[in-house]
Structure 1
Amino acid sequence: MQNHRRKLYSYLPNVIFTVLLSFALTVFIMLYLVKTMALSPKTYTDAMYKSAVDVTAFDEINAYFERQSAYTGVNADVLKNSIAQKDVSASMFAYVDSTFEYMSGKTSKLPEFEFDFTALEENVHNDYLRWAAENNVQYTDELAGYESRTIASAKSVILNKLDIMLLSYLNKDGGISTAIRNNYSNLGKIMYGALGVCILLLAVIVLINRRHIRNLFYWTSVAFLTGGVILVLPTAILKGTRYFDSLVLANDAIYSALTQSLYAITNEVFKGGIILIVTAALLMFIHYAMLKGMFKFRYKK
């Protein structure tokens, strides 16, 4: 009688559909996290804010201005007074937001940096005019050429520092961001399709075990546990070894922002796996409780 109570009926069909369910659960959670985390600007702007990358970028720009003055003769303060930290910060965060708005189809315009260089152009031009006047030199085309190169070099460095998440590499004509945009709607369809497959497989397992309900909790527990382990094991290794710390990037601000973002996504995948494992433990407890008759109540007459 005891062996009969413990028997797992329809063993092979249950194994097959349980394995399929575990992988379907994993695929659904991964797609959900890609849509809500990996393709969400908040993931990256939060990491940027925590790392204070806008402050770092502003300091690096000013350090460049210090070096630039030695080559061009333009006073470093002239260049420094041409930009403000709030403008650097606003442009940097806006570029991230616009990139993911473009990817998700909220806007049709390919992302561009929004930074007003008017003050920089005017200040550098006035400084060249001042230098020419002080040295009794005419403002020639040659001098104008030097001015243009100075301004172009400063703009290039500023834009480079603003691209803290290296998103400009994705935002080229026909680039990765455009490819994501073209397939963004399909991602949602595939995600909900994976959820539908999960529901269908669960329904099949219910059907197989309709006469042995406690076994239903056993097999679904195994499916959730397997899916959880698939998610937890690799992310635990990444977290435990601090794998992303080994990334080699020359720019400290970019390094900090990217690694913070990658760890944030890794943490969410890890949490998703933990949720599956906890659910598996609950389902296994119900199976065990039913096996031991813990849900049978006797009333005294």
Structure 2
Amino acid sequence: MINPIWLRSFCTLVELGHFTRTAERLYMTQSGVSQHIRKLEEQLDTPLLIREGKQFSLTDAGQKLYQQGQDILLALDALQQSVKVDPPFEGLVRLMSPGSIGLKLYTELLGLQQQHNGLTLDYRINSNSGVETAIADLDADLGLMTRQPTLSEVQSRLIAQEPLLLVTPASHTSLSWSSLQQLGFINHPDGAHHANLLLAANYTEFEHCDQLSHRGFSNQISLILEPVSRGLGFTVLPAYAVEAFARPELISSHPLSVPVSEPIYLCYRRQTTLPKRVISVMDEIVARL
């Protein structure tokens, strides 16, 4: 591969036609310029200059190298400039989060993308462990988790708390333990975990989720409240998932005497310099949550 430093010395020499002016332009000595030309000729195994005292002319190979070398140097300069450019609202930002947070954030972040046409968002829903692994493997720029990461490659900071809510059909008014048992539980991938957190804090009778009769299951965050809205059971969900339900008049979310929330951690790769576009999205997430 041609050494670009030698190539720049050669092209500058051809452009200026003088070793002294070339040395001044490149902040080198004349002998340094001569050495670059000699090394380039040795690497290519062909003469590039016909030396005539202090003057010179180009060989056929030298003419070809100058013509094509200029394009190479311009491309290298353009590449260097493009690498340095770091606009705050241009480029791809890859995000991951659990479903409830995604229901709130994705549509709101689309508003940011509408304001900045150069910004592209890739938002994916995943479990806490999936989010953590993606960040560690550089498959995501930012992630949101409801627990602290355990992998050393992932850095996090607490940015919000999301309340857990007991959700029943709108027609169901009693919140007694016996009425909940009779109504039955609509389960979901985090159902047992959420129920353990909220119900254990508010019902002395609660020991584990298996005490409840299970009346259904859905792994789609946007569909979990559908059976609840039809009177088929109750569930426990994070607040953002409840807020996103399309028919809120068919359900009721109930404040309990002991409120319980899940932490929300903003996560990113440790020891990585975040591009400005990622920082811009990060700031928007913090403001929204």
Range into which the TM-score falls when normalised by the shorter chain: under 0.3
Structure number with the higher strand fraction is: 2
Structure number with the higher helix fraction is: 1
Q: TM-score if structure 1 supplies the norm length?
A: 0.20
Q: TM-score if structure 2 supplies the norm length?
A: 0.21
Per chain length, whose mean CA-contact separation is higher, i.e. which structure has more relative contact order (CA < 8 Å, sep 6+)?
Answer: 1
